[in-house]
A and B are shown apart, each in its own frame.
Chain A
């Protein structure tokens, strides 16, 4: 993509600092532009607008069997492992199927901390939704723990993002 120098009309590559012809500064021309309302929304709406669900928190000593039962009874896809208000890890359906799988009976009495994903990536409830989409899409995560003032307050899932996007692009009207 090329940008036109407003001073002399020469074409310059997008993002150039100065015009290659007249050496005038072009820095003001390369501000990001958000072309659609969806993009503007993603960059201006905060994660709290998705109203993150309250997380299902368990202690690291909870057994795998108990956690599996809780996930089913609460119809939830992931649990947060929390101790002293600190988020230690996350355990999702994916972890359950890939790390425990058909060994569920044998492993039922082990503690959840042995199979959790430690130190998950978190976002703040004041961060923009675009960052949540970025983490989930690029990182391939299905759930993101959401912190408010460095305390775990919620969790958002890829389904929340899909709901937000499809509302914005006019699919669900």
Chain B
């Protein structure tokens, strides 16, 4: 077969390069600073009342496949108000205290005794980049999303953020082979 050089082989490449340098970078930055956390895969929060025991809440983690619960008031006057958060890390601290014999009765105590009540929260219109900032600066993995009246409506976690970021370059991540060091002996067909 006689090989011949295509006349405008470069055309497609030039177009692609230009798009890369200007378009995608800008759109990435733009979507981070304009899209709200509701597009970054927030979870449905799991709620417990302040009187639930630590043991019950830890069993709930297993049953609900979740890493955090929101402790909400069950008083008639301020029902549904967010009082605190209890995460896997808090659970681990409780478990360590129980197994060392330091506080043997901790599992039967109400979760309100050990929850974190100093909360960093997001609003539904908080931007993704603001959420990332709060998460990495505070070292949090879970941030509750609250409505204007203070009622929690969602839970943003670090996996949701990573999922959102990967959505911007799916080919780079999802098309990887499972083993980074395997070199295929022949090219895979399309």
Q: Which residues of A contact B (CB under 8 A)?
A: 3-4, 6-7, 13, 15-17, 27, 29-30, 32-39, 42-43, 64-65, 68-69, 71-72, 77, 93-94, 96-98, 100-102, 104-105, 107-108, 123-124, 127-128, 130-131, 133-134, 136-138, 140, 158-159, 161-163, 165-166, 169-172
Q: If the complex has contacts A17-B189, A93-B92, are A158 and B159 also in contact, measured as CB distance less than 8 A?
A: yes
Among A4, A7, A102, A128, max chain B CB count under 10 A is at A102
Say which residue of B28, B32, B129, B135 sits within 8 Å of A36 (CB atoms): B28
Instruction: Give complex CA distance A38, B20 in Å.
Output: 12
- B153 at the A/B interface (Cβ < 8 Å)? no
Contacting residues, chain A, for B56 (C-beta < 8 A): 102
Contacting residues, chain A, for B133 (C-beta < 8 A): 166, 171-172
Say which residue of B93, B141, B173 sits within 8 Å of A130 (CB atoms): B173
Say which residue of A42, A96, A165 sits within 8 Å of B162 (CB atoms): A165
Q: Are B95 and A36 in contact (CB under 8 A)?
A: no
Per-residue CB contact flags for chain B residues 88-120 toward chain A (1 = under 8 Å, else 0) read: 110111111011110010010000000000000
Q: Which residues of B contact A (CB under 8 A)?
A: 4, 6, 8-9, 12, 16, 19-20, 24-25, 28-29, 32, 54-56, 58-59, 61-62, 67, 88-89, 91-96, 98-101, 104, 107, 129, 132-133, 135-136, 139, 141, 158-159, 161-163, 165-166, 168-169, 171-176, 180-181, 187, 189-190
